[in-house]
Amino acid sequence: MDNDLALVPHTIRDNTASAFAKVSARMDEIDLTQLLIYIVDRAPAEVLPYLAEQFHVLGYEGWNYANTDPKKRALLKEALPLHRYKGTVWAVERALTLLGLPARLWQWFEYGGDPHHFRVDVDITGEGASADIARLDRDATGLVMAWKRKSSVFEALRLLLSIDGTIRIGGAVICGGTLTISPYVPSDVEIEGTMPAFAGAVFYSGTLTIYPG
């Protein structure tokens, strides 16, 4: 810094020039990588909402449902192609998939629906069997409405959950009746009734009345 100050003409070499030289030297110490915010993977987390506003993916276009840092960065990195192809099948499916909801859009002619209608299947297996179905339905519907073609009619949304394993279903049969034994017992005793056929344990309850002989 002394060498730099020596380059300053003697007529303006004062305290102000010295202070300016010190500030200039500090500029070399600034980490300029923090300014490279368009390298989304390296951008500080606190600037991501501003990027979302700039790239127009706030609200229902994705930011409302980007509940993790990786989802936010994935949405930002594909914001430009999403807007470039907005209104296409690809844009709807891609917006949902980026936020962890793999989707398949069915156009009306693929399932025999009314012209210009469409349906969307969303795989929520990754969310687990205990997923908040109401939230997922709201999130997926909001994303579809934000990225679909304006002239198309969103007809239905199906949330699909796949379970890998053995499902065991059990049941039980509960029946009852009244049996009366008089002094003269008939040779045959029958109990009539309807018993549904289910697998499981059987529980019997009833009333037994015996009169003295």
The Cα–Cα gap between 9 and 20 comes to 14
State both tokens at 99. Answer: 């936020």
Q: What pLDDT, in 10s, does the model give residues 75-128?
A: 999 999 999 999 999 999 999 999 999 999 999 999 999 999 999 999 988 887
Instruction: Yes or no: say if 80 and 43 are a contact pair by the CB < 8 Å rule.
Output: no
Of the candidates 86, 127, 126, 120, the one whose C-alpha atom is nearest the C-alpha of residue 104 is: 120
Domain ranges of the chain: 2-30, 34-160, 171-210
pLDDT for 68 beyond 90? yes
Q: What pLDDT, in 10s, does the model give residues 30-40?
A: 665 655 667 88
For the entire predicted model, the pTM comes to: 0.62
Instruction: Yes or no: say if 108 and 118 are a contact pair by the CB < 8 Å rule.
Output: yes
State both tokens at 85. Answer: 């192809």
pLDDT of residue 198: 47
| DSSP 8-state secondary structure symbol assigned to residue 183 | S
Strand partners, 157: 120
